[in-house]
């Protein structure tokens, strides 16, 4: 097994990569977070663990990869990665997979690019455009050329949590995503933290994300996953992004984003998570307690596992890290499960099913820390079935609050664009004004 780099002298455990949302911002605040150093014991057993040093404020990583002359170790690495996926049980995925594995669903991953050559993602990735204006591309891969190991680790990690298929004998090794039968549409909208081109990309970041959302909606994405945010650009938002969100929802796409990792450093509002119409996801630890770094804001929809998360990393290696990015990717996977099992549900009803199908629900039904509670794939699928059948489970505190882009939501089985309703309302209001003006003119005559 290759040892990528050694831990710091005197350090009992190596640092890890933060699965923080990435944004072409100023490099401050929420786009990175400090590494947690506790590594799941099962991942330590029998493995030589290397750490990648800290660069440009990005937390280091614990990574595993087998050398060519130690190919027999690759299975050990993959099996250890699978054993470390504590979220499989927390989300009740083995039970949920009896109903749905996400077949027939396309999840757009708007991120730093996805390496479809990773063993756990082979056959699962559709390569979309690179909207970062980066010029280094290679056939079959969006982004940097062959051998450029810094390209797309974050996007690859998120894709593995959504649609990882594992590999090896009976696919017992590697990362299993929440929706292992779904397909990933990779749309590159930002660069990795530490990429020297990030500074040049800042000016075009908003346009890239807005264009990426529209591209995904126009190319058949059922779910759009955005583990993005942090930095000054994410705290301001933009009209172009907000309009793109409305456009995608009207086209029938479910949008999911990380709530942000700024909970300990200002707890700022984070975009794209804060746009109405987006399912914003915070992070919890193994005890299902909200992680300190997770943003606590009134736009948070639900929370999901976001600490000690094992993901794909590079051509055939793995990494463990923390962040709301991972939590958002998992909820995007849950949305894919629902979309596969209940394709007639509108984006509003998919969101409602996720928010109703939670554990650890706050006593009054909602809190800025937990949102509507801890996401649960099995319970969300059950609620989706009830919604499709017209039977609504009303939890304490009432049903989830509809966002302004959803309204009351179209009836299950209908995907009438929300924009059509807004246009109709505008036409009615205009007609009323015209009639009033005509009446006044008649009175004056």
244: alpha, beta or left? (left if phi > 0; alpha if psi -120 to 50): alpha
Q: SS3 for 144?
A: coil
Q: SS3 for 125?
A: strand
Sign of CA dihedral 415, 377, 101, 294: positive
Q: How many CA atoms lie within 13 A of 253 on its CB side?
A: 29
DSSP code of residue 31: G
Q: Hey, what's the torsion of the CAs at 193, 199, 203, 208, to 10 degrees?
A: -30
Does the annotation mark 154 as catalytic?
Answer: yes
Residue from 325, 326, 340, 346 carrying the catalytic annotation: 325
Does the annotation mark 258 as catalytic?
Answer: no
Does the annotation mark 325 as catalytic?
Answer: yes
Instruction: Tell me how far apart the alpha carbons of residues 203 and 200 are, in angstroms, rounded to a whole number.
Output: 7
Residue from 111, 130, 262, 313 carrying the catalytic annotation: 111
Could you tell me the two tokens for 250?
A: 């009207």
Residue from 154, 167, 342, 372 carrying the catalytic annotation: 154
Instruction: Tell me how far apart the alpha carbons of residues 433 and 163 are, in angstroms, rounded to a whole number.
Output: 51
Instruction: Tell me how far apart the alpha carbons of residues 111 and 440 are, in angstroms, rounded to a whole number.
Output: 56
Alpha helix segments (H runs only) across 149-197: 153-163
Instruction: Tell me how far apart the alpha carbons of residues 438 and 293 are, in angstroms, rounded to a whole number.
Output: 59
- Tokens 């990933």 locate to 184
Q: SS3 for 228?
A: strand
Q: How many CB atoms lie within 10 A of CB 7?
A: 17
Query: Which of 363, 382, 355 is closest to 301 using CA atoms?
Result: 355
Could you tell me the CA-to-CA distances from 51 to 29, 100, 149 in Å, in that order?
23, 37, 15
Alpha helix segments (H runs only) across 97-149: none
Strands (E) across 264-325 are located at 278-284, 300-305, 309-313, 317-322
Task: Kindly list the catalytic residues.
Answer: 111, 154, 325
């Amino acid at each position: 097994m290759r040892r990528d780099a050694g831990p710091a002298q005197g350090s009992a455990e190596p640092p890890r990569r933060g699965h923080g949302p990435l944004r072409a911002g100023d490099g401050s605040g929420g786009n990175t977070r400090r590494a947690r150093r506790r590594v799941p014991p099962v991942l330590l057993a029998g493995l030589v663990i290397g750490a990648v040093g800290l660069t440009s404020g990005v937390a280091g990583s614990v990574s595993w990869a087998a050398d060519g002359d130690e190919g027999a170790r690759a299975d050990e690495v993959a099996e250890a990665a699978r054993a470390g996926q504590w979220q499989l049980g927390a989300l009740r995925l083995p039970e949920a997979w009896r109903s749905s594995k996400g077949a027939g669903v396309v999840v757009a991953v708007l991120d730093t690019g996805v390496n479809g050559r990773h063993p756990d993602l082979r056959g699962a990735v559709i390569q979309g455009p690179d909207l970062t204006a980066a010029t280094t591309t290679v056939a079959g891969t969006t982004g940097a050329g062959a051998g450029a190991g810094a390209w797309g680790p974050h996007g690859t990690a998120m894709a593995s949590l959504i649609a990882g298929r594992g590999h090896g004998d009976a696919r017992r090794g590697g990362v299993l995503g929440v929706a292992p039968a779904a397909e990933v549409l990779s749309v590159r909208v930002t660069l990795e933290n530490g990429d020297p081109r990030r500074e040049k990309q800042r000016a075009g970041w908003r346009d890239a994300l807005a264009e990426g959302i529209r591209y995904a909606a126009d190319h058949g994405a059922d779910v759009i996953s955005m583990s993005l945010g942090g930095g000054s650009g994410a705290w301001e938002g933009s009209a172009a992004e907000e309009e793109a969100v409305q456009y995608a929802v009207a086209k029938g796409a479910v949008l999911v984003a990380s709530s942000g990792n700024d909970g300990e450093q200002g707890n700022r509002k984070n975009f794209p998570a804060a746009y109405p119409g987006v399912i914003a996801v915070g992070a919890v630890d193994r005890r299902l307690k909200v992680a300190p770094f997770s943003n606590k804001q009134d736009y948070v929809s639900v929370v999901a596992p976001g600490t000690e998360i094992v993901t794909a990393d590079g051509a055939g290696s793995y990494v463990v890290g923390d962040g709301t990015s991972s939590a958002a990717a998992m909820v995007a996977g849950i949305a894919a499960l629902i979309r596969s099992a209940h394709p007639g549900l509108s984006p509003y009803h998919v969101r409602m099913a996720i928010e109703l199908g939670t554990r650890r629900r706050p006593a009054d039904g909602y809190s800025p820390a937990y949102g509507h509670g801890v996401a649960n794939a099995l319970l969300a699928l059950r609620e989706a079935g009830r919604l499709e059948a017209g039977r609504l489970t009303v939890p304490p505190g009432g049903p989830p609050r509809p966002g302004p882009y959803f309204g009351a939501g179209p009836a299950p089985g209908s995907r009438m664009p929300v924009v059509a309703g807004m246009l109709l309302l505008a036409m009615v209001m205009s007609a009323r004004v015209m009639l009033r003006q005509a009446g006044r003119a008649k009175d004056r005559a």
